[in-house]
Amino acid sequence: MLKIHLHEASKRFQYEWIFKNLNLQLTQGDSLAITGGNGSGKSTLLKCISGAIPISSGKITFETEGKELPSSDWYKQLAISAPYLELPEEFTLSEAIKFHFQFKSPLRGIQPKELIEILYLDQHTHKPVSQFSSGMKQRLKLGLALFSDVPLILLDEPTSNLDKKGIAWYGDLVQSYGQDRILIVCSNEPREYGFCNQKLALEDFK
Ligand X SMILES: Nc1ncnc2c1ncn2[C@@H]1O[C@H](COP(=O)(O)OP(=O)(O)OP(=O)(O)O)[C@@H](O)[C@H]1O
- Report the residue number, 54 or 194, with the smaller CB distance to ligand X: 54
Q: Is position 81 an interface residue for ligand X (rule: CB under 6 A)?
A: no
- Taking CB under 6 A as the binding criterion, the range among 24-32, 35-43, 57-65, 93-101 that sits at the site for ligand X is 35-43
How many angstroms separate the CA atoms of 142 and 166, rounded?
11
Exactly one of 4, 6, 41, 147 binds ligand X (CB under 6 A); that residue is 41
Q: Which lies closer to ligand X via its Cβ, residue 43 or residue 198?
A: 43
Give Cα separations from 56 to 8, 21, 60, 154 (angstroms): 10, 11, 11, 21
Q: Which residues of 123-148 are buried (b: 16+ CB within 10 A; e: fewer)?
A: ebeeeebeebeeebbbbbbbbbbbbb
Near ligand X by CB under 6 A: residue from 6, 19, 40, 121: 40
**Separation CA 10–CA 103 (nearest Å):** 31
Binding status of residue 42 toward ligand X by CB under 6 A: yes
In angstroms, what CA-CA distances link 87 with 11, 52, 99, 145? 28, 18, 11, 12
Candidates 32-40, 107-115, 158-166, 192-200: pick the segment binding ligand X (CB under 6 A).
32-40
What three-state secondary structure class fits 108? helix
Using the rule CB under 6 A, give the single segment among 36-44, 59-67, 120-128, 189-197 that binds ligand X: 36-44
Nearer to ligand X, 44 or 148 (CB): 44
Chain positions contacting ligand X, by CB under 6 A: 13, 18, 36, 38-44
